[in-house]
Structure 1
Amino acid sequence: MLKTFSIGGVHPHENKLSANQPIQTAAVPEKVVIMLGQHIGAPAKAVVKKGDVVKVGTVIAEAGGFVSAAIHSSVSGKVAKVDSFVDASGYAKPAIFIDVEGDEWEESIDRSPELKKECTFSPEEIVKKIADAGIVGLGGACFPTHVKLTPPPTAKAECIIINAVECEPYLTADHQLMLEHAEEIMVGVHILMKAVKVNKAFIGIENNKPDAIKLMTKVAAGYAGISIVPLKVQYPQGGEKQLIDAVISRQVPSGALPIATGAVVQNVGTAFAVYEAVQKNKPLFERVITVTGKSVAQPSNFMARVGTPLQQLIDACGGLPEDTGKVIGGGPMMGKALVNTDVPMTKGSSGILIMNKKEAKRGEQKSCIRCAKCVGACPMGLEPYLLSVLAENGNFERMETERIMDCIECGSCQFTCPAKLPLLDYCRLGKGKVGAIIRSRQAKN
């Protein structure tokens, strides 16, 4: 019997329209806008100014704190300005604008296709190289990887868990990455194991990717301590806490970090980026992204540079369909509608979903019938209908008591609600307000 997590979950239509589409190298744009806040934590601080000449891989911003990440140029050319730009959220944020001239890479980057298996670096050297390369979690949260690899002294890592689930409908970037770069991923996993000083790693893959499971199992046989764990298809299995539950049957306590279970979770794309950073001296300035949708002429997977305008990738798939109703950054469950298609790609850009007008239209809201479907679907054991009412009425103190900060914003509640209530919207609103209250309280103390 296939493993899965123990509480809640839903099974939306998979719609993996771009599955088995080879990864194409996206064209280098004429101009890029590289945001300084591409990760959880403090935004990076620009170390370049107008007129500076940069190459592909040049450091253009340094980490702005312990929980932060360096940023590197994804192109070669001249810095046009350091200014603000409207990002995917619709707010103006600091960014570096670069006019592209050619495609000259830093000489320290090893661009050869040769697989480099042996890692001679110490754990401390590995973590430093990962930090220097600006690696962040590529599953969506964008947590700086070097921070995850240095847990507090009171916590001890027992294993690495690799998230190769890709449970979000439509997205296929991780799936295709496994099919084309299985060996590099395994070396990356081995490096992560060495960094946190463990001898076990588990790679969780949902059972709707049998070709990836077969290939990764075959390749993993050549690497000590790495096991492939086929998982039942269940959303949101890619959530960190749900994946830990599914793979090693341990639950993260409320308010605790995943390391409390002894597991350090990393995305499969992050493992590939770690291989490139440690073995090839390549910073994180490009990633695989899926562009898809039922009306898209050619759903595709691209290896694209950070800072590329999303419209350029959409054009490469045939352009915006006439019946476009909404463009989502990410997948349909956890992704967010974009304010426009000129926003730049970031390290966390896993997909662009173009929804037609029929799909994009929300159903008519009705009164809650107290069916409790949202409670049964919540993978965190919360009561979304109650949290929604509390948020609507501004009762944020009660929301904190009802564990709103445990919400992972997966959207399972809203997906399953027969009354079509905007449960996720209210939970996000309340979580943001409660988070601000908690930070303010901690600052006073």
Structure 2
Amino acid sequence: MNALRRLFSFNGGVKPPTHKSDSTQHPIAQLPLASELVVPLHQSIGGTPRPQVEAGQHVLKGERIGAADGNVSAAVHAPTSGRVTAIEPRQMPHTSGLSALCVVIEPDGEDRWMPLAPVPYRSLPADELRDILRDAGVVGLGGAVFPSHLKLRPGRRAATRTLVLNGAECEPYITCDDVLMRERAADILRGARIMRHMLGAEEILVGIEDNKPEAIAAMRAAAADIDDMRVVVIAVPTRYPAGGAKQLIRVLTGIEVPHGERSTDYGVQCFNVGTAFAVHEAIDLGRPLVSRIVTIAGNVDTPRNFEVPFGTPMEHLARHAGLRADTTHFIMGGPMMGLRMPSFGVPVVKATNCVIAATPTLFAPPQPEQPCIRCGDCARACPADLQPFELYWHTRARNFGKAQEYHLFDCIECGCCSYVCPSHIPLVDYFRFGKSEIWAREQQKAEADSARERFESRNARLEREKLEKAERLAARAAGAPRAATAAAPTATDASPDQDAKKALIAAAMARAKQRSTAMAEAPAQAVAEPAAPPPSAEDTKKALIAAALARAQAQRTAAAPRNTENLTPAQQAQIDAAETRRAAGPATTEKEPDQ
């Protein structure tokens, strides 16, 4: 359905040459299979899928070779039937040239599908449909490759009212969405209606730049055929980057999503038209995502669009379009946001919407960077309403905290600032560097915080164990006197006090025995003679004094001398003299009255 709607605008943007007409002259072609497909397991944002096959195993087209690792992940499937020859690290399609784990498949030429079954989505709950899309490997095909099942959830603060389909395709050279809408418009809208069902949205708005009249006509015709008043196809002004999600939402609805918030919080969600087509195939046909439409352009004889199985070497794709000999490198994506590939043989993945064969003539080397003159052109061109020149100064000075205050992470890396900079400063490269440094430092901080928490937890555990040990020792010490008291009658070693008491008792018993003996021998005298007198107080006192002297002597004998190591001869002589006087103490005491 076509309707007159008020359109809004966004600040900034540029209008570079489009270079789109050459690759839209031919219909979508099916690319012949390469002799080897290298399928990376990590093709989307989130965790790396776990391998589900082994080397030597035969797989069918659409068979799962990598299972989603957690919720923020998506499965990976075999793009054709054949034999798994290896599971090993291979070079990834990224400027860094780093390697990642890949499943290498040798096609058998049959391209035979595994058994497929459509999904009756109207009779299934939304959560189950999201799990099906996750296991089908459906991700955003506009370039972000974010798992689609996560985006197909209602907003946290508001129900989703509007589903936006992004058909703007604003970057130069890229035409894969254009030809997809021309040839498969009905299937795109079927997928969009499935997504509307899952979100509970009220309407579908399809935004297409007005430089794609054939695509607009095809989508409007498909909308008319389904006779759905809630599907509206809208032509938007051509201006880069109108295909940005926030920019297109602003143009179609007038809603400006603030910093740090999501469009779903305002009742809007945005998907690429290629993603809608993938949802249709996953639900209506039961087919997982194993291929996509890719534009091959630049230094080739016949720029066009192919349906390319994932894992196909980019060189294989380019040669079927007539790759010219003077090509120096490939660019994955468009000239504004694309990435230079480390080699010709890196594979096509889910994020590959375009491959540009580049030459120095087609893409001249960057001119030397000159000092910033603070002209403000970058700020006027920024569609995110940022101040790129301020971000540049703070990022270059490595003042990343200040760069975050200027909302560095709101930068969508569209390249408008670099495009208009008269000083030829690669501003986007600085911003990417700043983001990567901040992410690295945050990761280091998180690891340091985790280490500190482990250290503090260990110290707390050791302190707790120390206190528990002290409590056990205190309890044991408190029980020791009772045990000693109970064991005292059977003790064999007596203290000096006990020896004195025993001496007095023995003396008394001896005197008692003498009395009894004397009474037995002279019973007649026992009555006439008086009994032996009891020990006097003087005798008792002398016995106690003797016991105290014995106890002191025992203590002196048991006490070990201190600080007697490394003595000089004079010191040792003094000690010996003192010991001699101590030993002669009683004799000295006896002489004292005569002095």
The equivalent position to 2:334 in structure 1, one of 298, 310, 331, is 331
TM-score normalised by structure 2 residue count: 0.71
Instruction: Identify the structure with the greater strand proportion.
Output: 1
Name the CA distance, whole Å, in 2 between partners of 1:151 and 1:62.
25
Contact in 2 for aligned 1:2/1:231 (Cα 8 Å) = no
Q: Percent identity?
A: 35
Measure how far apart 1:321 and its partner are.
4.0
Count of residue pairs the alignment pairs up: 438
Q: In structure 1, what is the equivalent of residue 411 of structure 2?
A: 407
Name the CA distance, whole Å, in 1 between partners of 2:211 and 2:195.
26
The equivalent position to 1:79 in structure 2, one of 60, 76, 84, is 84
Measure how far apart 1:76 and its partner are.
1.0
How do residues 355-366 of structure 1 correspond to structure 2 at under 5 angstroms?
A: 355-358=358-361, 359-366=363-370
Q: In structure 1, what is the equivalent of residue 103 of structure 2?
A: 96
Amino acid in the other structure paired with 2:115: E
Measure how far apart 1:149 and its partner are.
0.6
Q: In structure 2, what is the equivalent of residue 208 of structure 1?
A: 211
Structure whose alpha-carbon radius of gyration is higher: 2
Amino acid in the other structure paired with 2:206: I
Q: Kindly tell me: are residues 51 and 136 of structure 1, through their superposed partners in 2, closer, same or farther at Cα, counting changes over 3 Å?
A: same
Q: Please state if 1:250 is matched with 2:255.
A: yes
Q: Kindly tell me: are residues 165 and 100 of structure 1, through their superposed partners in 2, closer, same or farther at Cα, counting changes over 3 Å?
A: same
Q: Please state if 1:373 is matched with 2:380.
A: no
Q: Please state if 1:176 is matched with 2:183.
A: no
Q: In structure 1, what is the equivalent of residue 572 of structure 2?
A: none
Q: In structure 1, what is the equivalent of residue 356 of structure 2?
A: 353
Amino acid in the other structure paired with 2:101: P
Q: In structure 1, what is the equivalent of residue 59 of structure 2?
A: 54
Amino acid in the other structure paired with 1:105: W
The equivalent position to 1:45 in structure 2, one of 44, 50, 53, is 50
Contact in 2 for aligned 1:5/1:237 (Cα 8 Å) = no
Contact in 1 for aligned 2:121/2:283 (Cα 8 Å) = no
Q: Kindly tell me: are residues 101 and 341 of structure 1, through their superposed partners in 2, closer, same or farther at Cα, counting changes over 3 Å?
A: same
Q: In structure 1, what is the equivalent of residue 27 of structure 2?
A: 22
How do residues 187-202 of structure 1 correspond to structure 2 at under 5 angstroms?
A: 187-202=190-205
Name the CA distance, whole Å, in 1 between partners of 2:444 and 2:231.
43
TM-score normalised by structure 1 residue count: 0.94
Q: In structure 2, what is the equivalent of residue 139 of structure 1?
A: 142
Q: In structure 2, what is the equivalent of residue 113 of structure 1?
A: none
Q: Deviations over 1:314-345 (max 9, x none)?
A: 000112342x3442001101101001110000
SS of the residue corresponding to residue 432 of structure 2 reads helix
Measure how far apart 1:366 and its partner are.
2.2
Name the CA distance, whole Å, in 1 between partners of 2:108 and 2:343.
26
Q: In structure 1, what is the equivalent of residue 386 of structure 2?
A: 382
Name the CA distance, whole Å, in 1 between partners of 2:337 and 2:320.
24
Deviates more, 1:249-258 or 1:276-285: 249-258
Q: In structure 2, what is the equivalent of residue 105 of structure 1?
A: 113
The equivalent position to 1:435 in structure 2, one of 432, 439, 446, is 439
Contact in 2 for aligned 1:135/1:284 (Cα 8 Å) = yes
Q: In structure 2, what is the equivalent of residue 308 of structure 1?
A: 312
Q: Deviations over 1:228-247 (max 9, x none)?
A: 11100011111111111111
Contact in 2 for aligned 1:162/1:266 (Cα 8 Å) = yes
The equivalent position to 2:161 in structure 1, one of 158, 162, 179, is 158
Q: Which runs of 5+ in 2 are unaligned?
A: 451-595
Measure how far apart 1:6 and its partner are.
1.6
Amino acid in the other structure paired with 1:101: D
Q: In structure 1, what is the equivalent of residue 515 of structure 2?
A: none
Q: Please state if 1:8 is matched with 2:12.
A: yes
Name the CA distance, whole Å, in 2 between partners of 1:320 and 1:117.
48
The equivalent position to 1:31 in structure 2, one of 25, 33, 36, is 36
Measure how far apart 1:215 and its partner are.
1.7
SS of the residue corresponding to residue 397 of structure 1 reads helix
Name the CA distance, whole Å, in 1 between partners of 2:185 and 2:434.
41
Q: In structure 1, what is the equivalent of residue 569 of structure 2?
A: none
Name the CA distance, whole Å, in 1 between partners of 2:46 and 2:8.
31
Q: Kindly tell me: are residues 117 and 303 of structure 1, through their superposed partners in 2, closer, same or farther at Cα, counting changes over 3 Å?
A: farther
Name the CA distance, whole Å, in 2 between partners of 1:43 and 1:339.
22
Amino acid in the other structure paired with 1:124: D
Q: In structure 2, what is the equivalent of residue 393 of structure 1?
A: 397
Root-mean-square deviation over aligned CA pairs:
2.0
Instruction: Identify the structure with the greater helix proportion.
Output: 2
Measure how far apart 1:397 and its partner are.
1.3
Name the CA distance, whole Å, in 2 between partners of 1:4 and 1:292.
32
Measure how far apart 1:270 and its partner are.
0.4
Q: Deviations over 1:168-208 (max 9, x none)?
A: 10010000000100110111111110011112110100000
